């Protein structure tokens, strides 16, 4: 009996020992770099227990402007101080002399430090090459002058570029076949999300210093600079953003008090985004708790009278634009007297210039009687109801989108609405269920300015390796689907210019700009009321210079009272700024 018990206990001990041995093999040999579902790197964890380190570069790729300057971060030479310096006698006076600070400042910086610090904190002193060389030549343990990459405090085009964060569940869902640490940063919005697979880190660059059990340096062991083995990574995305114009645009949007809205500026030569601003700004502490996380330039909005451009295009092709015909522009679309506008009898061209609702509601109904699908067809021809951001096949991705957050536009919600005169009349003036994005409106203006040539909008021109050689390029591509004819485009160009040159035109405000402008205004009623007052979306969309178009521009102020504006001064100031920039660039 005792013998059986001893044998049983022996078997249990052997099984237990085998399990422990298997676990040791798993921990020490098999899963050293990807332990548990969290993909914990045990080798790195063990090193961290006996070392002090500071990350100089998290390894994630970034975004460049059109000239190759970084938009999301900066790299500068800084002074790194390790915490064990407070218990050491080191040459503080010489280091202080080299960088031009007091000895007390250096001593005070490490007095309460529990981990390696950047001297100067959030506003570090940027060292010159000579200063960096002089400090490192002194070979003081725990004192290093190195290059460190940090995120910029005030990112340009923040909604467009997007944000990153740690999300273990999303990481596993997005990359089920990749073994990534659970704390890997991934793109959550904007281009950070669109280009996430390219921007993923291949490892950190960091400064590692080994210490003993009480945190003092192990002399004889030099500092280690650890970086990813692949010299081509991280890769960076070269955007089409013009940094100077982007900075100007953001300043002007804020000066005009745009609380919700912004602008889109397209470079027509490459049909690419030169500047894009969305407000409100992102709340860095709680990004998802406010509307600032949204890029409203890519979101559906009620467009109002800008949609009359679509009605005008259809009217031209269906011979409803005869200027001998007169419309009563002192009436509302239901035939009642208009208390706000008494323009009298106007022809088609003048109706477009003053944005007469009755004219375009009437024409919309006539188009409906010809074919209920005409308005939708022409909205698509002018790129308003399709994704306009660049998309195409790259590597293993058949339908890669540069702007994953972009929404499609729409004209009608139901088939019944297409056949209802009241709904069609409202649709003809950009109300009812018409929804489009500011980016799509900008591309409509670009299409008209180019004589009907419809293209995808690029926001990235290429992806570059770390050494700035090209990984892949995004070529200009035509947008799928039908477009308007050169004749229709030419007629629309004249109508859009008439909005400006006509003394009663809704764009006569822009007659004295340094560049001649063509465009269309829009004021759309929303369903939101505050204190009994209805809120509106205010728009101006156009292109310039008129004779040789180079830019398309849309400004929009969303959810404001009827007597609030901002879009006209913003449009005008941006045109002036582009003109000055072009003069300087010649």
E strand residue ranges, 115-198: 117-118, 143-151, 164-165, 186-187
The residue ranges of DSSP E strands in 372-479, in sequence order, are 391-394, 397-401, 460-464, 470-473
Outline where DSSP puts E strands in 297-452. Answer: 327-328, 345-346, 391-394, 397-401
Asked if 562 contacts 534 with a C-beta cutoff of 8 angstroms, the reply is yes
Residue 214 in 3-state DSSP? coil
Catalytic residue among 305, 351, 355, 521: 305
Say whether 428 sits in a helix, a strand or coil.
helix
d(CA 162, CA 192): 5
Q: Are strands 261-267 and 551-560 parallel, antiparallel or unpaired?
A: antiparallel
Query: What residues are paired with 187 via a beta bridge?
Result: 164
Q: What's phi and psi for 342, nearest 5 deg?
A: -120, 75
Cβ contact 459:239 at 8 Å? yes
* Long-range residue pairs from 581-584, CB within 8 A, at least 24 positions apart, any chain: 581/242, 581/244, 581/245, 581/248
- Calpha distance 222→562 (Å, rounded): 69
Residue 54's H or E segment, with its range, is: strand 51-57
How many residues are there in the chain? 586
Residues 447, 449, 451, 457, CA torsion sign: negative
Share in percent of the chain as helix, strand, coil (round to 5): 35, 25, 40
In 3D space, the residue among 485, 458, 404, 423 whose CA is nearest the CA of residue 241 turns out to be 458
Catalytic: 351? no
Active-site residue list: 305
């Amino acid at each position: 009996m005792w013998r059986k018990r001893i044998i049983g206990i022996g078997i249990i001990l052997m099984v237990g020992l085998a399990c422990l041995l298997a676990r040791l093999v798993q921990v020490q040999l098999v899963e050293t770099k990807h332990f548990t579902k969290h993909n914990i790197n045990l080798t790195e964890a063990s090193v961290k227990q006996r070392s002090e380190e500071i990350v100089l570069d998290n390894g994630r790729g970034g975004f460049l402007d059109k000239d190759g300057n970084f938009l999301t971060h900066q790299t500068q030479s800084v002074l790194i101080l390790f915490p064990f310096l407070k218990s050491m006698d080191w040459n503080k006076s010489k280091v202080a002399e080299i960088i031009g600070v007091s000895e007390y400042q250096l001593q005070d910086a490490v007095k309460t430090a529990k981990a390696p610090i950047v001297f100067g904190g959030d506003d570090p002193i940027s060292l010159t090459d000579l200063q960096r060389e002089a400090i490192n030549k002194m070979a003081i343990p725990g004192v290093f002058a190195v290059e460190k990459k940090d995120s910029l405090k005030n990112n340009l085009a923040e909604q467009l570029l997007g944000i990153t964060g740690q999300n273990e569940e999303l990481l596993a869902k997005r990359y089920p076949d990749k073994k990534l640490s659970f704390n890997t940063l991934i793109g959550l919005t904007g281009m950070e999300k669109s280009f996430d697979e390219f921007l993923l880190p291949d490892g950190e660059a960091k400064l590692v210093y080994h210490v003993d059990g009480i945190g003092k340096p192990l002399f004889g062991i030099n500092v280690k600079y650890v970086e990813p083995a692949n010299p081509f990574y991280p890769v960076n995305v070269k955007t089409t953003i013009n940094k100077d114009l982007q900075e100007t645009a953001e300043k002007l949007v804020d000066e005009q008090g745009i609380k919700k809205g912004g602008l889109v500026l397209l470079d027509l030569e490459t049909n690419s985004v030169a500047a894009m601003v969305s407000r409100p700004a992102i709340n860095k502490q709680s990004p998802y708790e406010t509307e600032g996380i949204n890029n409203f330039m890519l979101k559906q909005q009620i467009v109002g009278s800008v949609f009359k451009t679509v009605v005008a295009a259809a009217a031209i092709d269906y011979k409803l634009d005869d200027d001998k015909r007169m419309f009563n522009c002192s009436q509302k679309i239901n035939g009642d007297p208009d208390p706000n506008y008494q323009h009298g009898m106007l022809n088609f061209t003048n109706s477009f210039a003053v944005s007469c609702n009755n004219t375009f509601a009437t024409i919309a109904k006539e188009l409906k009687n010809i074919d209920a699908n005409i308005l939708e067809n022409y909205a698509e021809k002018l790129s308003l109801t399709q994704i306009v951001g660049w998309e195409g096949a790259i590597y293993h991705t058949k339908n890669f989108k540069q702007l994953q957050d972009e929404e499609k536009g729409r004209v009608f919600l139901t088939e019944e609405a297409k056949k209802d005169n009241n709904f069609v009349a409202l649709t003809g003036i950009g109300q009812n269920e018409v929804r489009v994005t500011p980016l799509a409106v900008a591309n409509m203006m670009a299409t008209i300015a180019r004589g009907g040539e419809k293209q995808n909008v690029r926001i990235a021109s290429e992806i570059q390796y770390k050494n700035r050689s090209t990984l892949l390029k995004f070529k200009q591509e035509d947008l799928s689907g039908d477009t308007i004819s050169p004749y229709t485009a030419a007629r629309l160009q004249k109508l859009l210019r008439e909005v400006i040159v006509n003394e009663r035109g809704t764009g006569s405000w822009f007659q004295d700009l340094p560049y001649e402008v063509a465009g269309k205004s829009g004021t759309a009623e929303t369903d939101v009321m505050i204190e009994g007052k209805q809120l509106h979306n205010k728009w101006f969309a156009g292109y310039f210079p008129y004779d040789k178009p180079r830019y398309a521009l849309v400004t929009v102020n969303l959810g404001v009272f009827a007597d609030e504006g901002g879009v006209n001064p913003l449009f005008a100031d941006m045109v002036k700024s582009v003109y000055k920039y072009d003069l300087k660039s010649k």
